[in-house]
């Protein structure tokens, strides 16, 4: 009689023979690199291999909880992947995804992304091809980007728009401060990059925020900007999910006359049941997704054609392996990609965005971060931005490196709550969504 004793133990990692009979290249080490060259907490994974000098890099940046991601990588992902064959990207992703049993979420997804992107980088290096070639070749020469123009008032905002226009940018996101209130995306601009310094968000005390004055201000802002610049530029705006759903619907309707390229995050992910109502009332193009972390969030809005641009944060959904599938799924529904690309995506993550942008037929736009000088030094091979687009350096893999000694010179800055998102409250004290 057969007993359980006669069932052989499952071999892990998988026991199949590598194709071609060549000895496999194995994962020999996983390093986590934490650095903040321009004061934004970045987490990078370096996967080392049994082939001397061959390694890959991946972005695992979840800037509000970076130390939780570091623990997930060092304590769980590293022992899980050591010794595995670097070729088995899909199998490693699938196995790692269920190895926590309870899966998904930004901490675990970022930990997986660090490994996943690094394995894609390694595959590209082994094939001696930039990643967009491995994905099936390019669909375009470069990836159009949008940049962030901000201002404490309309004049300042228009100066910034003019500055970007002179640099050749054609897609510009506009955000303006609401006098007397604390508003998303309008901190003082950095003199080198023109981007609002991220540190403004980390201040632990903020003035109150109210939805009604914000909505009026946004309409006035686009009236001004369209009046000054006419129809010659593409305009974007990020609501950042702060307003009640019915006010968001009204805002999207009122903005229709300004012909935006897209309006972003009109609802919090928790309120996405409102998209069908929004859709029935306005043709303002809708971008959504930076806060999504799993397929139960992004599949329905694409399948039901409720959004126009899917803009997930690639490391927050688990890396390039799921992002490639999401891009292909979106193609079948006429939804274009606009991967999240803020300052808290590391340059390694921006390179990953770029390779997918260059390949994806249904690419829409790429959010750009204009890297500071220190960041560029720490990450040789940062994607170049000029003429309103991001360009690949055509090197194998992701085409980017990290100077570990220099990275170590920029530890995470001191902060009372370790870089967590500070609360924003209404005038009566109620906490609001970001
Ligand atoms: C964007 C975003 C970011 C986020 C940030 C959170 O559209 O670029 O909304 O600015 O707020 O990535 O850490
Ligand atoms: Mg956003």
Q: Tens of pLDDT along 237-280?
A: 999 999 999 999 999 999 999 999 999 999 999 999 999 999 99
Distance CA(171)–CA(175), nearest Å, equals 13
d(CA 323, CA 331): 12
Q: Is the dihedral of CA 399, 402, 403, 409 positive or negative?
A: positive
Between 15-24, 57-66, 356-365, the lowest mean confidence (pLDDT) is in 15-24
Domain boundary among 76, 109, 130: 130
Indicate whether 372 belongs to any domain: yes
380 close to 395: Cβ distance less than 8 angstroms: no
In this structure, the answer to whether residues 299 and 249 fall within a common structural domain is yes
Per-residue pLDDT of 32-59, as tens digits, reads 999 999 999 999 999 999 999 999 999 9
What's the domain count of the chain?
2
* Nearest residue to 237 via CA among 302, 293, 185: 185
Using CA atoms, how far apart are residues 301 and 285, in angstroms rounded to an integer? 13
Task: Inform me whether the pLDDT recorded for 17 exceeds 90.
Answer: no
- How many A from CA of 328 to the centre of ligand 2? 22
Same domain, 40 and 151: no
**Strand duo 234-238 + 286-288: pairing:** unpaired
Q: Which of 380-389, 397-406, 416-425 has the lowest mean pLDDT?
A: 416-425
Q: Counting atoms of ligand 1 from 1, which one is nearest the CA of 185?
A: 10
pLDDT band at 22 (very low <50, low <70, confident <90, very high): confident
Best mutation site among 110, 173, 185 for ligand 1 pocket (most ligand atoms within 8 Å of CB) = 185
Q: Do the Cβ atoms of 275 and 307 come closer than 8 Å?
A: yes
Q: Tell me the best of 340, 370, 424 to mutate to test the pocket of ligand 1, counting ligand atoms within 8 Å of each CB and taking the most.
A: 340
Q: Give yes or no: residues 123 and 204 share one domain.
A: no
Q: What percent of the chain has pLDDT over 90?
A: 87
Identify the pLDDT of residue 16. 65
63 CA closest ligand 1 atom index: 13
Mean pLDDT of 174-197: 72
Catalytic site residue 340? no
Q: Helices (DSSP H) in 199-319: which residue ranges?
A: 211-229, 245-255, 275-281, 295-303
Residue nearest to atom 1 of ligand 1 (CA): 342
Same domain, 83 and 159: no
Do residues 184 and 86 both lie within one domain?
A: no
- Whether residue 216 lies inside any domain: the answer is yes
**Distance, CA 191 to ligand 2 centroid (Å)?**
22
pLDDT tops 60 at residue 9: no
Question: In this structure, is residue 410 part of a structural domain?
Answer: no
Q: CA separation (Å) from 28 to 58, 125, 147, 378?
A: 16, 17, 39, 24
pLDDT at 432 over 80: yes
pLDDT of residue 11: 47
Ligand 1 site, CB within 6 A: 63, 238, 240, 290, 342, 344, 367
Does a structural domain hold residue 416? no
Final residue of a domain: which of 378, 394, 410?
A: 394
On whether both 159 and 49 belong to a single domain, the answer is: no
Task: For residue 184, give the ligand 1 atom closest to its CA.
Answer: 11
Specify the DSSP element, H or E, that contains 384: strand 384-386
My answer on whether 148 and 28 are in the same domain is: no
Instruction: Give residue 367's pLDDT band: very low, low, confident or very high (50, 70, 90).
Output: very high
| Residues 349/130, Cβ–Cβ less than 8 Å | no
Supply the pLDDT for residue 202.
Answer: 77
Ligand nearest to the CA of 367: 1
Residue 308 sits in the same domain as residue 380: yes
Ligand 2 midpoint to CA 183 (Å): 13
Closest to 363 in 3D by CA, of 320, 316, 328, 399: 328
In a domain, 415, yes or no: no
Whole-number Å distance, alpha carbon 102 to ligand 2 midpoint, is: 27
Per-residue pLDDT, 295? 97
Q: Give the position, in ligand 1's atom list, of the atom nearest the Cα of 342.
A: 8
> Are 187 and 200 a contacting pair, CB within 8 Å?
yes
Write down the pLDDT at residue 206: 83
Confidence of residue 185 (pLDDT cuts 50, 70, 90): confident
Q: Tell me the residues surrounding ligand 2 (ion) with CB < 5 Å.
A: 238, 290
Whether residue 186 sits in one domain with residue 277: yes
- 408 domain residue, yes or no: no
Terminal CA-to-CA distance of the chain, rounded, Å?
Answer: 63
Which CATH number fits the domain that encloses residue 314? 3.20.20.120
**pLDDT attached to residue 3:** 46
In the prediction, which pLDDT does 225 show? 98
Same domain? 358 vs 295: yes
Distance CA 367, CA 21 (A): 43
If we measure between CA atoms, which residue out of 368, 367, 42, 38 comes closest to residue 190?
38
> What percent of the chain lies above the pLDDT cut of 70?
92
Residue 409 counted as domain residue: no
Judged against a pLDDT cut of 70, whether residue 191 lies above it is answered with no
Q: pLDDT category, 236, cuts 50, 70, 90? A: very high
One domain, residues 310 and 373 = yes
Beta strand residue intervals within 128-259, DSSP E:
143-151, 171-176, 234-238
Task: Please tell me the distance between residue 240's alpha carbon and the centre of ligand 1 in angstroms.
Answer: 8
Q: How many Å lie between the centroid of ligand 2 and the Cα of residue 181?
A: 19
Report which bound ligand comes closest to the CA of 264: 2
Q: Cα separations (Å) of 363 from 155, 183, 233, 350, 367?
A: 33, 30, 19, 15, 12
* 188 and 203 co-located in one domain: yes
Give me the helices (H) in 271-403, please.
275-281, 295-303, 320-331, 347-359, 373-378
In a domain, 420, yes or no: no
Residues 115-120: what's their mean pLDDT?
Answer: 98
Output the pLDDT for position 5. Answer: 56
Are 312 and 297 contacting, i.e. CB atoms less than 8 angstroms apart?
Answer: no
Pocket test for ligand 1, best of 344, 353, 424 (most atoms within 8 A of CB): 344
Query: How does pLDDT run across 61-92, given as a tens digit for each residue?
Result: 999 999 999 999 999 999 999 999 999 999 99
Atom of ligand 1 nearest to the CA of 344: 12
Mean pLDDT of the chain: 93
User: At which of 130, 145, 173 does a domain end?
Assistant: 130
* Active-site residue (options: 146, 184, 214, 258): 184
Cα gap 100→294, rounded to integer Å: 15
Looking at residue 2, its pLDDT comes to 43
Of 169, 237, 240, 350, the catalytic one is 240
- For 128-162, give one letter per residue: b (16+ CB within 10 A) or e: ebbbbbbbeebeeebbbbbbbbbbeebebbbebbe
pLDDT grade for 193, boundaries at 50, 70 and 90: low
Task: Tell me the residue range of the domain where 354 lies.
Answer: 134-394
For residue 161, how far is its CA from the centre of ligand 2 (angstroms)? 19
- Closest protein CA for atom 4 of ligand 1: 342
Query: What are the residues facing 433 on neighbouring strands?
Result: none
Contact criterion met (CB below 8 Å) for 335 and 308:
yes
240 is catalytic: yes
- Which residue's CA lies nearest to atom 10 of ligand 1? 342
């Amino acid at each position: 009689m057969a007993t359980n004793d006669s069932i052989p133990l499952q071999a892990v990692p998988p026991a199949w023979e590598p194709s071609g009979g060549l000895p496999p290249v194995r994962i020999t080490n996983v390093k986590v690199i934490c650095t903040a060259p321009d004061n934004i907490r970045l987490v990078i994974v370096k996967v080392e291999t049994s082939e001397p000098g061959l390694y890959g890099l991946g972005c695992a940046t979840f800037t509000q909880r970076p130390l939780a991601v570091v623990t997930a990588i060092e304590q769980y992902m590293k022992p899980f992947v050591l010794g595995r064959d670097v070729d088995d990207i899909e199998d490693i992703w699938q196995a790692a995804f269920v190895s926590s049993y309870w899966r998904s979420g930004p901490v675990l997804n970022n930990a997986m992304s660090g490994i996943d992107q690094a394995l894609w980088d390694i595959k590209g290096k082994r094939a001696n091809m930039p990643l967009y070639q491995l994905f099936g070749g390019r669909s375009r020469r470069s990836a159009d980007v949008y940049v962030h123009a901000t201002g404490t008032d309309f004049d300042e905002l228009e100066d910034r728009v003019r500055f970007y226009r002179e640099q050749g940018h054609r897609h510009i996101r506009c955000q303006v401060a609401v006098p007397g209130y604390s508003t998303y995306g309008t901190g003082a601009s950095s003199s080198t990059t023109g981007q609002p310094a991220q540190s403004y968000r980390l201040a632990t005390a903020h003035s109150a925020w109210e939805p009604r004055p914000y909505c009026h201000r946004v309409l006035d802002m686009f009236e001004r900007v369209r009046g000054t610049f006419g129809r010659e530029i593409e305009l974007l705006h990020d609501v950042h999910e702060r307003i009640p759903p019915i006010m968001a619907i009204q805002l999207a309707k009122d903005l229709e006359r300004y012909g935006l390229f897209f309006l972003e995050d009109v609802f919090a992910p928790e309120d996405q049941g409102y998209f069908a109502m929004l859709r029935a009332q306005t043709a303002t193009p809708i971008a959504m997704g930076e806060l999504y972390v799993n397929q139960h969030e992004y599949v329905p809005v694409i399948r039901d054609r409720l959004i126009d641009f899917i803009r997930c944060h690639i490391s927050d959904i688990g890396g390039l392996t799921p992002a490639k599938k999401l891009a292909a799924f979106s193609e079948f529904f006429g939804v274009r990609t606009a991967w999240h690309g803020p300052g808290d995506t590391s340059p390694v993550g921006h390179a990953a965005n770029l390779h997918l942008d260059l390949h994806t037929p249904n690419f829409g736009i790429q959010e750009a971060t204009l890297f500071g000088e220190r960041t560029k030094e720490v990450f040789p091979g940062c994607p170049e931005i000029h003429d309103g687009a991001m360009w690949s350096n055509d090197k194998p893999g992701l085409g980017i490196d990290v100077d570990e000694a220099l990275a170590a010179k920029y530890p995470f800055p001191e902060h009372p709550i370790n870089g967590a998102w500070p609360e924003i409250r209404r005038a009566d004290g109620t906490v609001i969504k970001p």
